[in-house]
Structure 1
């Protein structure tokens, strides 16, 4: 990493691009003045960060404005300089780049996830106008990841998870392979340090032996090809640590089953040469069946093109050969940045617009959802590296993310095809609508012309792509307004009953209108309609709704409870159980199942007829409701936990998480590692591609429960973990 502007100038001087050094120098001087006296957490002067971000962009071949923006990207956010100052000194383009990278730091949000989502949406909106915004942001994130080791552990994990879920997929879609792979490797190092170290160790074992083998293969291929192909480059490459990690830990393969850990790249001038050399390679070595991929005739969504084939040498050792042209290689390595680095790489404004159309599509798909956080979910699914190539009966290729269904395929063709869909055929056979498509499938969509026919609400839980989900919501929003309102109101009532929210009609209207306005709706009807067509995920906003209800509408009940807890204390006797009850020595104590109190909770006792004293949490809904009955007031008694409680208590928690493969296994492993005795576990899939999991287990007190909740919240995909309310 560089530490001075002189080092940056030397690197710039070694590039083939003509830079405006006067402007870059002025940007550095302003940044140095602005950050004077500021230090990074590592103790380095803050200016070292923008210098290194600029260096990354120089290596990518970005232009003068991008380098200036890199040097100035934190000035507006962290110093007294304004965007107007930047615009006046360096022009509108540099100011626009700086503004696009600057976070929304001064706007209040209800959660860290919402803050993250709004920052990403702002960045994508700026990116739709000027793609250099995201390239500067990727360079910024890359240097932050390289220096993340000095941050606290939780900050390292949060930043790494965001990098893995948001920035690495964007780098992949932009085709900037070098940044994408380094971001993934650095994130993995903090998210699973043990797994990272194991892969590193596996690569170190016999490394010299493998590299010698690879060099022998390179020389052998070069000797065979150099006479016929003068302009040719051949070199070996090692698969990224995260790429190996995915196959070993996520796909369950052994290290020996990964055939592309080491690969030989052959780079030539023309497409014809690629296919000719493919034939020569298959003549020199024995090709493995079903291990050939033609990404030249069928490019990936990020326009990656290459021929991949896995072959065996005479000793039976498998390895991969990748064959591509120089233009394809520039695109594979530098992606969208090749537009600036290599003029012969990505030519023309139209070609650039084509490569960026997915940004506008992603923003368009997110419009129908009122939840900004869905944009993060969309990036994780639609921009994921895995994709499948599916064919229409006419031979057109449709690219979809791995796991997409025939419904996703229908909507990828056209919204009208999806809306009129009644069935599907895969490779000539009728299949169910939740059938997942795979590369090479020929899919035919069966449609109807019956007026009024449309999608089912159940499809929202089946589809994988944001495009399909958005088009289904749009249909319901336009065609079923009244039905949406009724469906949303019914769902709202069910959730309120489940959470014990009950108010008189006038107060309920006031309460609902406040919720609707907070979600940016003008009326309760609009709010209910959005729930009905799926624009609002009720399960996501319920924690805040319950908090508002408790704060604003339980006040009188709480006062009753406080008066009970403040009653004149009477003589306490020795506890025969884990609870001390006033003046009732030796009484039978049982713990209420409605709230499952734990040591550490505020508690209150109720004298039952024939069953001793029932112990409740002080904020138990049944306690709150019972306070209204004055005839029972004498039966409520003060209680508290004894100093030592040797019992174990049953408690139930609710987990709300993004639905994914191995989610339940990860949760089970985490609970097993904490040595908890589990009594029951129930899981169900929700409509919005989420899962609801309820677990009942034994714990000693509220402190242990909080530790369990905190541990489970760290699991990938878990949105919330709460103590269950009966």
Structure 2
């Protein structure tokens, strides 16, 4: 422990000789005392963790305040220390940083109705704190990195859960902040736990030809060093390295290739003193080796949104083997390694780290967009889109650059300019030619939006084609504002229906003081705002009523709660037994009729259905598009109208077929995706054709077509999957 802390102190003194070492020592002592007796899963004293987190931040040269907060970052969450005690000893700035990375559950602020809601609110809290002071997320990323480094001491279930969360949230967040050093390590560790076979197989194959590759790299390095010296470029640093494992693995999976088919495994980096030297070196390498068409990117002229700047070019090397060269200045290199940490104004002699900056505009927008998230799944999905690594760079007619998510449309572009442009949009031109509004934008497109003063709002169909959270949010805001009265009425009806379903009277739960608590928790001003929110889908009735029921229960004695719950359950069961047909099907004009669901087409709630009167086996229910029904139409009088009983919650079987390019772990990814939605799989049949196309037939147990569509949509997002269909027969 003392050795680790000594390493921390030495690192700090090296880049900041004036740092307050006494304050660091004080924070170390307070943290060590607070965590006394606590151990990590590895069996080591807990204090090792906060010290290692501080060391990671010191490697990025963070200021003393951030390092003090890192040493104390788990004290509020895992010990008896309070915010006020930290504030009294170290000041409000440190206390706010520690509070920013502390989970809400540990603060006892909110009761959660689900694990997903808990995760959403913890992330939302972290982003709010991050918007005030970016060092919050730096501490959180360092905390997550050290936890991932020691993940081997956790059980397999936790390893997979943490690795998946890290790969979906924290690695993209590190990328968004430009911290490639942390991003790459997080991704490689995640891969080791999510696909250990694929990871170790890749490591072994890369190591197998190491000597051959090292000789290849050394040959190119020697040529580049000699030629840059001849060009008169001083102090140029040139090195070569294989790309990190996850980027190679992702390319193999995405392109369905083996390692031998991935040629640009190497990236050579040239670091020079000036931008002029960058372009001089670019000209040099293009003279030495043939550049590959379409593989040159100038991130110096057009920096990435995460502030990354560099020249990237892919070249054909000796023996026809491609390789990548990245050329940048020393300042650009520091930004590429530690991202946002390289841009703090207070590190350059003055200014406030909490001061607003254009570099954080995306974060403030993210917080605005998340306020209207309908539920946990939408929040997480939107968050992943906002942090996703793939982007396209689009030009306005005036030459300004706009960054949008990959596969964005002209509608996304219009709303990124201004909501008024999006709301009055009637068409778009790409590079001077008319394109449809669902056109997929490509890097370098010049987009011109056509508007009309007679158009007064977007189409709801646009929500299905836009990719950016900004566009979705602005479209939803328009409908929220324009359809307020309609939303209020719909919301009231939905509340009344849910109350009736759960067996409560309106006056039992809708007390003024309880409503005030709900309004405060979900950021609504009035009861009408709440109704409108329910009406347009910003919040579910179940969430509202669950919170009101919690307050109602607080007014009752334990035995009264049991009596009321038993009474409600009995009433609902009696009603269910009385009204709900066992089959879930209502046959027009006939009660207590023998009904069975046809196995040839497996209809589920949401499908259009027709009844077929069989001989001696009652009514057989088919999907309207079933070919067996079509064949029987000639026999007049055998068809009968049937419909689904709307509140039936029975399970139904549905068959789907997945078509994908064959790859390792495909079936595992498919079953994991279905398991995440908590859908039972009743049968699996998988095979691969000669053309290396994998066909997976699944029988699932679902409750309605809406649920089935959600499954199909999720499966289509899996790498290598190119078609998912429901079987008609």
Partner of residue 36, structure 1: 36
Partner of residue 556, structure 1: 571
Decide whether the 8 Å contact of 1:338 with 1:345 is kept in 2.
no
Distance 1:192 1:552 in 2: 50
Partner of residue 296, structure 2: 292
Distance 2:566 2:475 in 1: 37
Q: Deviations over 1:437-472 (max 9, x none)?
A: 11111211111111x610112222221111111111
Partner of residue 421, structure 2: 417
Partner of residue 402, structure 2: 398
Partner of residue 23, structure 2: 23
- Selected match of 2:337 from 316, 333, 340: 333
Partner of residue 78, structure 1: 78
Is 1:692 the counterpart of 2:710? The answer is yes
Is 1:158 the counterpart of 2:161? The answer is yes
Partner of residue 324, structure 2: 320
Distance 1:447 1:552 in 2: 59
Decide whether the 8 Å contact of 1:274 with 1:323 is kept in 2.
yes
Partner of residue 147, structure 1: 150
Shift of 1:155: 1.4
Shift of 1:211: 2.0
Which residues in structure 2 correspond to 1:156-555 (within 5 Å)?
156-227=159-230, 228-339=232-343, 353-371=357-375, 374-450=378-454, 453-485=456-488, 503=500, 517=518, 520=522, 526-536=529-539, 553-555=568-570
Distance 2:3 2:595 in 1: 64
Shift of 1:3: 6.0
Shift of 1:667: 3.3
Is 1:652 the counterpart of 2:656? The answer is no
Decide whether the 8 Å contact of 1:62 with 1:340 is kept in 2.
no
Q: Structure 1 residues 38 and 250 mapped into 2: Cα distance closer, same or farther (>3 Å)?
A: same
Q: Secondary structure at the match of 2:320?
A: coil
Distance 2:203 2:704 in 1: 38
Decide whether the 8 Å contact of 2:314 with 2:324 is kept in 1.
yes
Decide whether the 8 Å contact of 1:169 with 1:379 is kept in 2.
no
Kindly tell me the number of residue pairs found equivalent between the two proteins.
616
Q: Structure 1 residues 233 and 537 mapped into 2: Cα distance closer, same or farther (>3 Å)?
A: farther
Distance 2:358 2:699 in 1: 55
Q: Secondary structure at the match of 1:231?
A: coil
User: Structure 1 residues 352-361 or 441-450, which shifts more?
Assistant: 352-361
| TM-score normalized with structure 2 length | 0.74
Q: Structure 1 residues 679 and 30 mapped into 2: Cα distance closer, same or farther (>3 Å)?
A: closer
Distance 1:335 1:461 in 2: 34
Q: Structure 1 residues 384 and 3 mapped into 2: Cα distance closer, same or farther (>3 Å)?
A: farther
Shift of 1:365: 1.7
Decide whether the 8 Å contact of 1:17 with 1:341 is kept in 2.
no
Shift of 1:264: 0.8
Decide whether the 8 Å contact of 2:487 with 2:534 is kept in 1.
yes
Q: Give the root-mean-square deviation of aligned CA atoms.
A: 4.6
Q: Secondary structure at the match of 1:62?
A: coil
Decide whether the 8 Å contact of 2:335 with 2:342 is kept in 1.
yes
Show structure 2 runs of 5+ residues with no match: 551-563, 579-593, 603-614, 621-643, 657-662, 675-680, 687-696, 720-729
Distance 2:387 2:43 in 1: 36
Partner of residue 65, structure 2: 65
User: Structure 1 residues 374-383 or 147-156, which shifts more?
Assistant: 374-383
Distance 1:85 1:161 in 2: 35
Q: Secondary structure at the match of 1:693?
A: helix
Decide whether the 8 Å contact of 1:366 with 1:374 is kept in 2.
no
Q: Secondary structure at the match of 2:461?
A: helix
Distance 1:624 1:536 in 2: 21
Q: Structure 1 residues 126 and 290 mapped into 2: Cα distance closer, same or farther (>3 Å)?
A: same
| TM-score normalized with structure 1 length | 0.74
